[in-house]
Every structure is written in structure tokens, then in C-alpha cells.
Amino acid sequence: MKKKDDRLDGLRQQVDKVDDQLLRLLNERASVAKKIGEIKAKQNEQIYASNRESAILERLAASNPGPLTADSVEDIFYTVINHCRSLQKKLTISYFGPEATFTHQAAIKHFGKSAEYIPAKSIADVFDDVSKERADYGVVPIENSTEGVVNHTLDMFMGSDLLICAEREEPISQCLMASQEDLKKIRSLYSFPHALAQCRRWLEAHLPSVRIHDAASTADAAAQAALDATAAAIASPLAAEIYHLTILADRIEDSTNNATRFLIIGKKMADPSGKDKTSILFSIKDRIGALHDMLIPFKESGLNLTKIESRPTKKRAWEYVFFIDLLGHIADPKVKKAIEKLETNCVFLKVLGSYPRGD
């Protein structure tokens, strides 16, 4: 019989003691957060401050001595921050639904389980919920690393006064799920077209003969699979949890770098965090070399552009608007100067928001 290591009980007692200290400190933090919320309410300040929360996580990651990884520290303190914020106010979040989509999953990770969530049928409905104050913030997808930009989200900014308050980049892990555990019994497969496209090679190798059906969303696919023992779905881990499905295979996406960027939209601009991004929308006068000239102010100011997208205005043929993401905050003098110089040659220009970078 193996001799018991006497050190084990001592270490467990040490863990219990540390847990008691953590509990006391967490409640102490929560009490301070409640006082901050009371001051914010009196001053009519927004409860969610993406710049402050981003700075907290950045500081803790930089000072982390280990053995916890930076990702673990961020995950733990995201949870702490979200629960403390809920003591100040229970936020209402509209997201591009239905329930259990990747957007829903990103919203929960960003705002925590204590917030109230409203699934919206369309991206336009998310903007409408926030504009009409049925929700404090909205969460919408803006681009996928393999499938590209979500044009409908870009289009919504043309006629909306809402601002980008934050962004979140989430790795997208596609899972094959069903109501039973035998892959050989699968006869049909449901998923959203983008999800199917992301898993094309895996499906050809493992399920070459199943009938594939397009679903309205990955969550709808999971709902369909829950009704048929011979059906499977490609969806998020959250969908498997909600619809009580068994994950038969995970990480089945063809690209290991599959990720989606989500935007958090609201009514107020975020203050500088020290690690920010600014998004602008503009239209230029139609002349030779116009777009080239539009980029010169950013080069002269030494600003890094991370994205340029064009969209038709839908008012006149071949008339376009441009979306640009750049590093820096609108409060930074060189960012402000570059945008002011750009505006002199634009038909119109709109700052969509300055917010903490989500990378």
C-alpha cells in the first residue's frame, strides 16, 4: 500500500486559507465598485467604461509573475470585473441572435453572465435596440478572418449615430454535435453557410455522404439537430450546452487561425486607454488619385492603418464610402490633426468611435 504524503493535508489547508483571503478581498473590491457606481449615477456617467477595464487587464497582465498565464489572468479578472459592474447596474445587451450563436457567446464573455441579454433578429434590430434605449449596448460581428467583412454591419453605420465603444476578437471553434454519440448514425447535417464553408475539408474527410442543409444560424442548426437523432449540427460549444447536445468533434474548422471580430456599440465615446483604435467613415470627391491623397495625412502623421474597406453608397452608381481603422485615439493630437486634414478633401467624414483595441 502506497504511503500517504503528509504534505498533502498541509497544502490543502494552505489553499483553504488563501481562498478565505481571496473571498474577503473580492467582497472588499465589490464594496468599492458599488461606491464607484453610486458616484457615477450621481454624475450621470456610464457604468461600462471600456477604457478603464482594458487598462486594468493590461496592467495585471504586465505585472503577472506566474505561474498563471496571461490568458488565465485575463479570464479570471474579466469575470471579477463583470460581477462587480453588475453591482453598479445590471446592463441590458442586445446581440445579433438567436441565442447560442457565436455573437451571443462573445457578448457573454465580454459582459458576463449577470447581464441581461436580448437576441435580435437582424443587425439592424441591434442598432435599433440601442438607439431607442431598449438596450444599453449592442454586440454585432464585423469581420471573420477567413470569410471577410460583414457588410451589413458596415452599412448600418452610414445612417446611425451610434458609436463603437469596444471591440472583441474571439477565436471561432466549430464543433460537430448531435443528440447521440455515434458518428456513423449521422445522415444529415445542418449549419449556417459560413460555418459550413469554414469546415469544408473536415466534412469531406469525415462525413462525405451526409446530406447538408443550410440553417438560418448555427443556433438554428443546433435546434434542428436536437429534434432528429440522425442529424448533426456545426455550431458553438454554447449551442451544445443550451440544446443538450453531445459534441462529437471539436475544432473542426479548416483554418487554425479562424477568428471573428465583434463590435460593442453604444451612445458614448470611450476615453483613451493608451492602447486604442479609431474607426472613421468618409466619402471623397471623385477625381484621379483621390484615394491616394486621402492616405497621405496618415502617413505624414506616422499613423498605422489596420483596415480599409469600401462600400457603395446605394445613392448613385459607382459612388463609394470608405471605412478605415487606425491605431490611436481621436483625443491624440496627431490623430486629430490627420483626420482634420483628411476632412478638408471629403464630401463627408464621420468618426465612428475610438475604443480600446481588442487584440
Task: Please tell me the number of Cα atoms within 13 Å of 102 on its side-chain side.
Answer: 27
Q: Is the peptide bond before 171 cis (omega within 30 degrees of 0)?
A: no
Contact 335, 328 (CB under 8 A): yes
Find out whether 266 and 316 touch, Cβ atoms under 8 Å: no
Backbone angles phi, psi at 291, to 5 degrees: -65, -40
Under DSSP, is residue 332 helix (H, G, I), strand (E, B) or coil? coil
Cα angle, residue 103 at apex, residues 99 and 104 outer, rounded to 5°: 35
Q: Which of 319, 334, 328, 347 is nearest to 279 (CA)?
A: 328
In order of 11, 111, 220, the CA distances from 260 in angstroms are 42, 17, 19
DSSP letters for 212-231: EEE-SSHHHHHHHHHT-TTE
Q: Are 219 and 101 in contact (CB under 8 A)?
A: yes
Q: Is 260 a catalytic residue?
A: yes
* Catalytic entry in 101, 153, 218, 260: 260
> Which single residue is written with the C-alpha cell 474548422?
253
Distance CA 338, CA 327 (A): 12
Q: 171, 194, 176: which is closest to 234 by C-alpha?
A: 176
User: Which three cell numbers, joined as nine digits, stand for 120?
Assistant: 435580435
User: Any residues with CB less than 8 A from the CB of 8 and at least 6 apart, and which?
Assistant: none
Give every strand in the sheet of 175-178, ordered side by side. Answer: 211-214, 188-191, 231-235, 175-178, 246-249
- Pull the grid cell for residue 299: 502617413
Residue 28 neighbours by CB distance under 10 Å:
10
CA angle 169, 150, 201 (to 5 degrees): 75
Q: Of residues 111, 157, 262, 323, which has the active-site annotation?
A: 262
Residues 54, 83: Cα–Cα separation, whole Å: 16
**Residues tagged active-site:** 260, 262
